[in-house]
Amino acid sequence: MFLVVAAVSCSRVDRADHGSAAPSTESSSLKLQADGGSQSGATNPLPPPKNESQTNIDKGLAHLIALQLPEGGWKNDVGMKIGEGYVPEQRGISHVGVSALCLMALMANGHTPQSGAYKPNVEKGLEYICSLAGRSGYINANSTRMRSHALATQCLAIAASCGGSKKCREVLTKAVNYIVEVQVKDQENIPGGWRYEPRQHDADILNVTHQILALDQAIQVGAKVPPETMELAGKYIAKCYSATEQVFTYQCVFRYDRSSFCTNAAGTLAYLLTRTDGTTNVDLAAMVNVLTTQRPDRVEGFEANKCNFGYWIGQYFASCALKRYLAEDTVAWDTWRKVNHSRLPLLQQPNGAWIDEIGSFDPKTNAYATAMACLVLSQ
């Protein structure tokens, strides 16, 4: 995803747990290390170790490579979340966020800008992501929005950790600054959120969690993000939490206060990434139990055609959260991981793909679910 705490790392090489963004005496504008490597200086890590699902992962990655477009990106339906469903607006078109996820899945398995059998594909994909960045730093195309921008930013931060180009680092700098710039700062209702569109005076827990993940990954490679950005984002997440019901709702104000496996996974992860020392207002043990009981594939016989809009992003966020929680509860992560490796391979299609609603349940063309599955199984 890969991941040591909450985000994808290059070739699943362990990184130090930095906690939330620390105050800096430097300028609040983002700065990256000049060499583009990780904070440890490693730019060409060893190949990732094989895990029990590596054969499934490799088959999925081969499927992704077969789907890569000549310009370097990947197709998917571009659309929007409506309720618990996904409504396509443009079908089968180059997609920023899905392209970023495919690259993240490749880099999580040893295929980097510096090494691996798919090194040329990764280089071409990163060039494609960089080509979509506007002067403001916003990375979008074909009507993709802030979630895709966050995924592209996260992808570029991972690339920076494993020898990405100077161009990747330059685009990353502007992309992170853009996230900081467009954060909603309505102290009363939306203390530090993001929504679908930049500067939209609204927010939701899924978009906020994506931005937090992107910023967290950027911090891992030396980005200097203003402390108040993460602090305000943490305040938004806290407002989405109901201590009495032990859930994270989709929004803390306005129309949508529903909760689901996906929102609970997002909220738990975002809380873990933004909490400060001594913060105890969220019952993490209870949230782990909520995720376990809500997990869609917890029962035998769960089928791939039941993977709705929230299934794979929920799995991604939940796995990131449980991995992050490892230091506090090793049993919870070990149990969750075992279920991942017993259940998710069963959903793989004969051609190596995984499917879901966002990819129209089509195994021939589904890159989104395939990338997500590879990321989760890479842990």
Q: Residue 36: inside a domain, yes or no?
A: no
Which range marks the domain in which residue 264 is found?
A: 52-377
CA quadruple 38, 43, 44, 49: dihedral, nearest 10:
10
CA atoms within 13 A on the CB side of 173: 14
Q: Residue 220: inside a domain, yes or no?
A: yes
Q: Residue 88: inside a domain, yes or no?
A: yes
Count of domains in the chain? Answer: 1
Q: Residue 94: inside a domain, yes or no?
A: yes
In one-letter notation, the amino acid at residue 201 is H
CA distance 101 to 107: 10
* Strand stretches in the chain, DSSP E: 75-82, 85-94, 184-186, 190-193, 241-242, 247-248
Q: Residue 239: inside a domain, yes or no?
A: yes
On whether the CB atoms of residues 173 and 136 are closer than 8 A, the answer is: no
| DSSP tag of 24 | -
Q: Residue 22: inside a domain, yes or no?
A: no
CATH number of the domain enclosing 354:
1.50.10.20
Q: Residue 28: inside a domain, yes or no?
A: no
pLDDT (tens, 9 = 90+) of the chain, 379 residues, equals 333 334 566 754 333 333 333 333 333 334 444 333 333 333 444 444 458 999 999 999 999 999 999 999 999 877 776 666 776 677 778 899 999 999 999 999 999 999 999 999 999 999 999 999 999 999 999 889 899 999 999 999 999 999 999 999 999 999 999 999 999 987 677 889 999 889 888 899 999 999 999 999 999 999 989 999 999 999 999 999 999 999 999 998 765 678 999 999 999 999 999 987 655 689 999 999 999 999 999 988 899 999 998 999 999 999 999 999 988 899 999 999 999 999 999 999 999 999 998 888 999 999 999 999 999 999 9
Q: Residue 91: inside a domain, yes or no?
A: yes
